[in-house]
Amino acid sequence: MIPTADVAVAISLARQLVVTGDSKQMPPTSFFERSISEAEAEETAEEIVFESILDEAATLLPSRSLRWHYRSRDEALIAFSNANFYGGELVTFPAPRNGSHHSGVRFEFVEGAVYGRGGSRANPAEAERAVALLARELREHPGREVAITAMSTAQQAEIQARVEAAAASDALIADWLSKGGRVKNLETVQGDECDTMILSLGYGRDTAGRLILNFGPLAQAGGERRLNVAVTRARWTTILVASIRAADIPPDRTSSPGALRLRDYLDYAERGPIALAARVRVNAGADTESPFETAVLQALSAAGLRCVPQVGVGSYRIDIGILHPERDGDFVLGVECDGAAYHAAASARDRDVIRQAVLEGMGWRIHRIWSTAWFRDPAKGVAEVLAAYNAALNGAPGPSAAAPTPDPPGPEIGFERADRTRERMSSATLGARNTGSTKDISIDQAVNALVIAIENGGPTSEESAVFILRDAFGLGRKSHVLEGIARRAVEEAIRRGLLRREGPVLARAE
C-alpha cells in the first residue's frame, strides 16, 4: 500500500482511478522511521489520518472484493487467515493430498531454546534449526523456492550469520545465497512469494525461564496484519519454528491483537484445521448438500469406492472426493455434481472453466456428473466414474472436462433465437427485473421465467429453480423468500401443465 502523498500527483493527471490493495495486510510501514515529536503529535491529534491511499479511497469510492484465492497449493496455508482476518469470505480450493506430502503448515518446536532478552534479543537455537530446515528443504525439494522470514531484525541477523557460516561447508546453501537467497523480517517480506517459507518466531523464554509477552512489532499496533503477511507467503509449505506453544500465551495476560493472533497461529500450526473448528467447518461430519449428491455418493460407495463428501475447509468444497485405496487423505478423483455449489457460481465461465482449471492446476483429476444424465441412467454414470477413477489411479491422461455439455448437442440456437429468448425473458420479468428485491415478483412472472429458461436450456434439477429466478430478476443472491417463490412457481407451472417433474428433474411438458 502507498501513502496518499506519494500518488497525489499521479491521481491528479488521470481520468480514472482504480485502487487495489488489502486492508488486512500491512500499510506503508514506519516501523524503522523516527517517531514524531510530542509537539507534532499534539498538532495532528485531532486530524483523521489515513494510513494509505487505499484507506482514503475506501471512504469515497465504491468497492468490490476479489474473493478467489488460488496461490496456495494447499488450502491449509490460507485457512488460518481466511478464518481470522477475512471472515471466511475467501473462496479457497482444497488440495488432493494431505499435509504429509510436504505441503501445508508444519510446527517445529525447539525444546530448551533461550531468547537473549536484554542482550542479543535473538534465539540462537531457533536460528540453528531454521538453517537445518533450509538445508533439508533444498536437498529434498531441489525445484522449490525456499525463503526464511524472522519475526524481528535481531533474529534476522542471527539466522543470516548462521546461513553464511553454513554456506562454507554446504554447497546447496552456498548456491541459495548466490542466487539471491536472504533472510528477511516482517517489514520487508510483504509482496514476496515462495514455495516454502520457514518462519522463525525468535521470542521465547529467557535464561531465567521467564516469558515476557512482548513480541516486538507483532505486539504493536497493526501487529496482527504483520502476522497475516508473514503466514500467507508460501505456495506449498509454511514451517513455523518456535520455542513456545500457544498455551504459553494466556489470553488474559495480553490485550494486543497481534499477540492474541500469534497465540492462535501457534495453536493452528501445531494442531491443524481442527484448531479452527469454532470458525470453519472441517471434513469431519460433513454431509452432502443435495439429494442428488446423496444419491451419487451412495451409488459410488456401493460400487466399492471410498468417498468423502464436501472436501475442503473453506466456502468452496469438492462435492465428492474419492480416496486412494491405500493412502488416507490422498484423493484419486474429485466428482463435481451440478447441484447447489455448481449453480451458486456467478457465471458459467466461473463454474465450468476457471474453477476447474484452478483445481486441475492443484493436481486434482475432476469428473463431472450431470443430474439429467444421471437420473436417466445411473448405472452408466457409475461406470463412467469407475473408468475415470481407474484411469487416474493408473496415471493415464484423462480428457479435460473444462467445458462439458450434459446432453448431446441440439440444433444451433443462433443469434436470432437468442435475441428472441432475451426478449421473452424481459417480457416475462417486466416490472420486477433488476429491482434488487423480491417484493415485486409475482408468481405469474416467476412461472413464465422458469418455463422460458427450461424451454431454451433444457431439463434442469428442481433445486436450480431458485438460481434461475435469481438471475432472471437480477437479484444479487438467493434468499429464503426467493426459495419460497421458486417452490410455489414450480408447483404452479406443473399444475398448469407447463412443466413436468421427473424425480428431482424439471422438464418441459410434452
**Is residue 380 located within the same domain as residue 428?**
no
Q: With respect to residue 405, please indicate whether it lies within any of the assigned structural domains.
A: no
Assign residue 343 the CATH number of its domain: 3.40.960.10
Q: Hey, what's the torsion of the CAs at 235, 240, 245, 251, to 10 degrees?
A: -50
Q: With respect to residue 69, please indicate whether it lies within any of the assigned structural domains.
A: no
Long-range pairs of 17-24 with CB within 8 A, sequence gap ≥ 24: 17/57, 17/61, 19/53, 19/54, 19/57, 19/61, 20/54, 21/52, 21/54, 23/54, 23/55, 23/58, 24/81, 24/85, 24/86, 24/225, 24/228
| Of the candidates 108, 116, 77, the residue with the CA atom closest to the CA atom of residue 93 | 77
Q: With respect to residue 175, please indicate whether it lies within any of the assigned structural domains.
A: yes
**pLDDT tens track for 122-167:** 999 999 999 999 999 999 999 899 999 999 999 999 999 999 999 9
**Is residue 184 located within the same domain as residue 218?**
yes
| Of the candidates 86, 92, 80, the residue with the CA atom closest to the CA atom of residue 232 | 80
**Is residue 87 located within the same domain as residue 135?**
yes
pLDDT score of 40: 41
pLDDT score of 425: 53
SS3 197: strand
**pLDDT tens track for 249-271:** 998 888 899 999 999 999 999 98
**Is residue 203 located within the same domain as residue 158?**
yes
For the chain, the domain total comes to 4
**Is residue 267 located within the same domain as residue 161?**
yes
**Is residue 214 located within the same domain as residue 249?**
yes
**Domain C-terminal end among 276, 306, 341:** 276
**Is residue 114 located within the same domain as residue 213?**
yes
**Is residue 389 located within the same domain as residue 422?**
no
pLDDT score of 390: 92
Q: With respect to residue 63, please indicate whether it lies within any of the assigned structural domains.
A: no
DSSP for residue 91:
B
**Is residue 101 located within the same domain as residue 232?**
yes
pLDDT score of 32: 43
Q: With contact defined as beta carbons under 8 Å apart, do 338 and 467 qualify?
A: no
Assign residue 152 the CATH number of its domain: 3.40.50.300
Q: Report d(CA 82, CA 76) in Å as an integer.
A: 10
SS3 329: coil
**Domain C-terminal end among 276, 307, 341:** 276
**Is residue 389 located within the same domain as residue 485?**
no
Query: How many residues appear in the chain?
Result: 510
Q: Report d(CA 138, CA 143) in Å as an integer.
A: 8
Burial of 395 (0-12, 13-18, 19+ CB in 10 A): exposed
DSSP for residue 351:
I
DSSP for residue 363:
T
Q: With respect to residue 398, please indicate whether it lies within any of the assigned structural domains.
A: no
9 is in which domain, residue-wise?
4-58
Q: With respect to residue 27, please indicate whether it lies within any of the assigned structural domains.
A: yes
**Is residue 301 located within the same domain as residue 333?**
yes
pLDDT score of 48: 41
pLDDT score of 407: 37
Q: Report d(CA 105, CA 268) in Å as an integer.
A: 8
**Is residue 355 located within the same domain as residue 474?**
no
Q: With respect to residue 286, please indicate whether it lies within any of the assigned structural domains.
A: no
- Residue ranges of the chain whose pLDDT lies below 70: 1, 26-51, 70, 98-102, 277-287, 289, 313-315, 339-354, 396-437, 457, 476-478, 510
| Of the candidates 21, 46, 24, the residue with the CA atom closest to the CA atom of residue 222 | 24
pLDDT score of 423: 53
The alpha carbons of the chain give a radius of gyration, in whole angstroms, of 28
**Domain C-terminal end among 336, 360, 393:** 393
Assign residue 454 the CATH number of its domain: 1.10.10
Q: With respect to residue 178, please indicate whether it lies within any of the assigned structural domains.
A: yes
